[in-house]
């Protein structure tokens, strides 16, 4: 009994450690890719770890306008992200918490994080942050249907409602489902770029507040709250990344091979995001909804293909 439980417990432990320690590496990898593409040396890959360590020691500044809601955004973002991370499998490894219908909880936990982040932006009373909050709320209204259509397609293909089995696609993969799966992943890639506020939807490095979405919402955060915001954002890169990577990964016989494959794929994803960011510009704000509708269409079409 113990002997059979132990490997699973070890994997859960690894899952938890990955969630806690790995996320800040992903923005570092993206930034490094972009720098190399542009012919610069760029900041070290571990830059975000240094930033977080520095911010954790710093004092925070609070505006007299703000209330406790200002802190609810960073706290809720990380807490909801961590809770959601326990529901998603990292590659073909078991998710610590898995039950029928956990997909819905997964999606709504990110909704909770978004809600609290928007509120903490509005709490400052700044027009810039209000603008970012409004954009976040608007664009996510289009990203949500794409996410759920993808879930519907996968649920139809696997007859399951648990992320653990839904995403373990190659296990049930037949040639018939390959096309729809590619469409789902394409649609989700759009959702991924939107939810993580990357180019072409948002530019995390811009210096013009008028054009930003997510970054402008946290302009007033500093010190430890800002550390939580930054860590929460990188956590989202990891957790949503697991969502689009897992169905695409082949299943290996040994657990360590699966973990290795997942880490390699994650690095590949960071590289891919970096390449996208290096090769294209941010869309005009009015074009963003069209981009998101493309995501809805891709996942919707995938669902239709699953039906026939």
Partner 1 sequence: MSLFLLALLAAAASGVPGLFLRRRGGEVAAGLLGLAAVAGLWASLRVLSGGPGGAVTLRTTSLGSSGLLVLDPLAAFFSVPVLLLSACGALYSLGYWEGRRGNTPALRLIYGLLTASLLMLVMASHALTFLLAWEGMAIAAFLLVMAEDREAETRRAGWIYLVATHTGTLLLFAAFALLAKVQGHSAFAALPAGLAATRGGTALFALFLLGFGFKAGVLPLHFWLPPAHAAAPSHVSALMSGVMLKMGILGMVRFLSWVPDPPIWWGGALVALGALSGVLGVAFALGQHDLKRLLAYHSIENIGIILLGLGLGALGKSLGNPVMQTLGFAGALLHVLNHSLFKGLLFLSAGSVLHATGTRDLERLGGLGQRMPWTSGAFLAGSWAICGLPPLNGFVSEWLIYLGAFRGLGPDLGPGRQGWPVVILLSLALIGALALACFAKAFGAVFLGLPRTGMAARAHEAPRTMLLPMGLLALACLAIGVAPILFAPALGRVADAMGPATGAALPALAGLPMISMVALALGLLALLLWRWLRPMPRGDDRPTWDCGYAAPEARMQYTASSFAGGLVRGLRWALRPVVHLPRVSGWFPLPTRYESHVPDPVLDRTAVPALRLAVRGASLLRVAQGGALPVYLLYVLLTLLALLVWMVA
Residue 278 in the binding site for partner 1 (CB under 8 A): no
CB of 122 to partner 1, least distance (A): 3
Q: Does 126 bind partner 1 (CB under 8 A)?
A: yes
79 binds partner 1 (CB under 8 A): yes
Whichever of 37 and 119 has its CB closer to partner 1, that residue is: 119
Query: Residue-wise over 96-133: b if at least 16 C-beta within 10 A, else e?
Result: bbeeeebbeebeebbebbbbbbbbbbbbbebebbbbbb
Other beta carbons within 10 Å of 189: 17
* Residue 112 binding partner 1, by CB under 8 A: yes
Interior/surface letters 150-173, b for 16+ CB within 10 angstroms, e for the rest: bbbbbbbbbebbbbbbbbbbeeeb
- 159 Rama sector, left if φ>0, alpha if ψ -120 to 50, beta otherwise: left
Site for partner 1 in 170-199 (CB under 8 A): none
97 binds partner 1 (CB under 8 A): yes
Nearest to 270 by CA among 182, 196, 166, 181: 196
* Torsion angle, alpha carbons of 268, 274, 278, 279, to 10: 40
One of 93, 124, 165, 258 touching partner 1 (CB under 8 A): 124
* Burial of 141 from C-beta contacts in 10 A (0-12 / 13-18 / 19+): exposed
114 touches partner 1 (CB under 8 A) = yes
Q: Which is nearer to partner 1, 86 or 196 (CB)?
A: 86
Instruction: Kindly indicate which of the ranges 2-10, 45-53, 127-135, 189-197 contains the residues binding partner 1, using the contact rule CB under 8 A.
Output: 127-135
* Minimum distance of partner 1 from residue 173's CB (angstroms): 18
Q: For residues 57 and 254, which CB has a smaller minimum distance to partner 1 in the complex?
A: 57
Is cis: bond before 200, omega within 30 of 0? yes
Does position 34 bind partner 1 by CB under 8 A?
no
Count of residues that interact with partner 1, criterion CB under 8 A: 78
Which of 133/273 has CB closer to partner 1?
A: 133
* Piece of the chain touching partner 1 by CB under 8 A; list 8-16, 141-149, 245-253, 256-264: 141-149
Query: Which residues from 200-239 bind partner 1, rule CB under 8 A?
Result: 209, 219-220, 223-225, 228
* 302 and 150 Cβ atoms separated by less than 8 Å: yes
Q: Could you give the 3-state DSSP secondary structure of residue 208?
A: coil
Residue whose CB is less far from partner 1, 166 or 266: 166
Q: How far is the CB of 163 from partner 1 (least distance, A)?
A: 12
């Amino acid at each position: 009994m113990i002997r059979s439980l132990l490997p699973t417990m070890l994997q859960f432990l690894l899952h938890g450690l990955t969630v806690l320690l790995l996320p800040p590496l992903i923005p570092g990898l993206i930034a490094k890719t972009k720098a190399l593409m542009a012919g610069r040396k760029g900041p070290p890959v571990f830059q975000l770890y240094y930033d977080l360590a520095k911010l954790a020691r710093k004092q925070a500044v609070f505006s007299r306008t703000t209330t406790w809601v200002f802190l609810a955004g960073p706290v809720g973002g990380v807490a909801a992200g961590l809770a959601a991370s326990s529901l998603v499998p990292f590659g073909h490894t078991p998710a610590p918490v898995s039950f029928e219908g956990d997909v819905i909880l997964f999606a709504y936990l990110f909704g909770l994080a978004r809600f609290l982040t928007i509120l903490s932006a509005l709490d400052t009373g700044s027009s810039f942050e209000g603008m970012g909050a409004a954009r976040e709320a608007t664009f996510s209204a289009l990203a949500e249907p794409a996410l759920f259509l993808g879930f519907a397609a996968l649920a139809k293909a696997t007859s399951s409602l648990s992320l653990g089995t839904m995403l373990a696609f190659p296990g049930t993969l037949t040639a018939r489902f390959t096309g729809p799966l590619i469409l789902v992943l394409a649609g989700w890639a759009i959702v991924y770029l939107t939810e993580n506020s990357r180019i072409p939807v948002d530019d995390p490095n811009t210096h013009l507040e008028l054009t930003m979405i997510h970054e402008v919402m946290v302009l007033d955060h500093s010190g430890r709250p800002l550390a939580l915001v930054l860590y929460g954002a990188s956590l989202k890169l990891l957790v949503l990344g697991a969502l689009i990577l897992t169905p695409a990964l082949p299943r290996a016989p040994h657990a360590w091979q699966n973990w290795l494959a997942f880490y390699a794929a994650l690095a590949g994803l960071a590289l891919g995001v970096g390449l996208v960011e290096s090769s294209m510009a941010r869309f005009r704000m009015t074009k963003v909804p069209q981009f998101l509708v493309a995501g809805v269409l891709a996942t919707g079409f995938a669902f239709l293909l699953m039906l026939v």
